[in-house]
Structure 1
Amino acid sequence: MHRLEDLKVWKKAMEVAEDIYLISANFPSDERFGLTSQIRRCAVSIPSNIAEGAGRNTKGEFKNFVSIANGSAYELFTQLTLAHKLKLIEKDEVKPILEQVVEIQKMNYSLIKSLK
């Protein structure tokens, strides 16, 4: 069992989830049940899966949930890229978030390696 407050990747993922909620608030209302919802669910999935894994009893279980979180990070990267291509987010808004998502992917990968 791990303390969430000690996991830098969880803290970073929480920051990204908050940023996603703020930036997606500006998406058109007709995207509310489409890309807006998908991006938000994906962003929340990253810290949520890290948290669930941290609360499990074995390193194997933790590793599995961090792997799921990493998949969500890749999904979020894809959805943000699409939102930019669809002109829902400006490049200067999306670039720092994409950089944070890549950092989370790297942190997750390192965490997974450490749990082997």
Structure 2
Amino acid sequence: MLTNLESQLKQQNAADKLDQVLAEIPRVREDLGFIPLVTPTSQIVGTQAVLNVLTGERYKTIAKETAGILKGEYGRTPAPVNAALQARVLEGAEPVTCRPADLL
């Protein structure tokens, strides 16, 4: 995860923002229902933290994968997700509450 973060920041000429991104990761993880930091969710949390820091505004840009977690496409989260953020992503739709694979 750390290597990917460093790489993303270097590509954006923002390697100096690593400490800010590392501080943002627990906040993003909380917003996403304390999902475990294992692949692929660790990469999703890390990428969203990078976006939040680089844009200067939390969730100004929401990654497709972050939206997927908020929609329930990755399954149930260990804790509730940020309700306001979820409502913004769902735009009036209902979240997935069944086993996501059952929708295939």
TM-score, normalised relative to structure 2: 0.37
TM-score, normalised relative to structure 1: 0.35
- With CA pairs under 8 Å and 6+ residues apart, which has the higher RCO, 1 or 2? 1
- The structure where helix makes up a greater share of residues is 1
